[in-house]
Structures are given as C-alpha cells and as structure tokens.
Amino acid sequence: MRTAVFPGSFDPMTIGHKALLKKALPLFDRIIVAVGINQQKKPFFALDARLERIRHALLDMPQVEVESYDCLTTDFCRAKQAAFILRGVRDTTDFEYERRIADINRIIAPDIETVMLFADPQYAAISSTMIRELASFGKDVSMYIV
Ligand code: ADP
C-alpha cells in the first residue's frame, strides 16, 4: 500500500490544491489530506467547517482521506504508515520554501520521501492567501474554493 500525506493549512482548500491531488492519484494507493492545526495562528475558516467542506469536495476521489493533525508532519506520516509527503510547487518561491522543508524532514525522517508536483500554469497564481485577502474585502471567491 503506497500512502502519501498531503499536508497543509488548506485555509481554504483551493481548486489548485484539488488539481494537484488529481495529478497525484495515479502515483499512490491512498492519499491523506492532512489539515494542520496551528495553535499560534487563528484560521480564517474554522477547522470543522473546513474539514467538512474539504471532505465533501473530495467525495469523487475515494482513495483520498481527510484528517486534521497537530504534531510534526513526519510523526503523522509514521502514525499513518505513509512513506511519502506530497507537496505542490507553483514558482521559484515555493520551490525554495518546499526544498527547505523537505531538507528538514529528510534529516528527521530519512525514510519518508517528499514528492513535489508542479502546478499546472492555470492554477499557479491561486493561493489560499490570495483568496483570504479577496474574501476579507468582500469579493466573491467561490470560483477558487473547492
Ligand atoms: P502551507 O501553509 O503548509 O504552505 P497550503 O495549504 O498553503 O499549506 O499549501 C499546501 C501545499 O499545496 C503546499 O505545498 C503548496 O505549495 C501547495 N499549493 C498551494 N496552492 C497550490 C496551487 N494553486 N497549485 C499547486 N499546489 C499548490
């Protein structure tokens, strides 16, 4: 069983996240979307509502599960017997950030490999941050959220 954890804040989950998941489906038997709980940061969308919405949005992907977690991502992977961490890369800023996280995770968990997939160009500008910003100014963001 090839299991990957797709960790993130998903505050909110965007059509870009879902497109990335779709590209990853043929690579893994099971993917766990792991919604990180950050005690330091107040989320824009409440955790429970976010989880429910994400679960509903991913019903068409039966090999995908959705869970929240509040520990180290690599510890969560071990608990789920996942040997892979899935992450997305939109641009060079993402690349540097993701590489740094992957390097740290490799040091603390050499048995868990980070797999990075590139965003398709039409999703490269879509970020949860941009959606939160637009939503906070009352703009309709429904077309970007899953
Ligand atoms: P985090 O707060 O951990 O960065 P996010 O929810 O913002 O979590 O993103 C989770 C993962 O999804 C990250 O690897 C990020 O680069 C990737 N991602 C975010 N938006 C997109 C997108 N539009 N296309 C592809 N990957 C994306």
- Whether the per-residue pLDDT at 121 is higher than 90: the answer is yes
CATH label, 3-136, candidates 3.20.20.70, 3.50.50.60, 3.10.20.340, 3.40.50.620 = 3.40.50.620
Q: Which mutation among 87, 97, 105, 117 tests ligand 1's pocket best, with the greatest number of atoms within 8 A of CB?
A: 87
**Hey, is 6 helix, strand or coil?**
strand
The CA 8 to ligand 1 mean position distance, Å, reads 6
- Whether the per-residue pLDDT at 38 is higher than 90: the answer is no
The CA 7 to ligand 1 mean position distance, Å, reads 9
Q: For tokens 């992450």, what's the residue?
A: 87
- Whether the per-residue pLDDT at 21 is higher than 90: the answer is yes
Give me the residue spans of the domains in the chain.
3-136
Dist CA 26 CA 68 (whole Å): 24
- The rounded mean pLDDT for the chain is 97
Q: What is the pTM of this model?
A: 0.97
> From the alpha carbon of 16, which atom of ligand 1 is closest?
23
Q: For tokens 């603390």, what's the residue?
A: 108
Residues with CB under 6 A from ligand 1: 8-10, 14, 16-17, 20, 87-88, 90, 94, 98, 119, 123, 126-128
How confident is the model over 78-82, as a mean pLDDT? Answer: 98
Q: Which amino acid is at 136?
A: S
- Whether the per-residue pLDDT at 40 is higher than 90: the answer is no
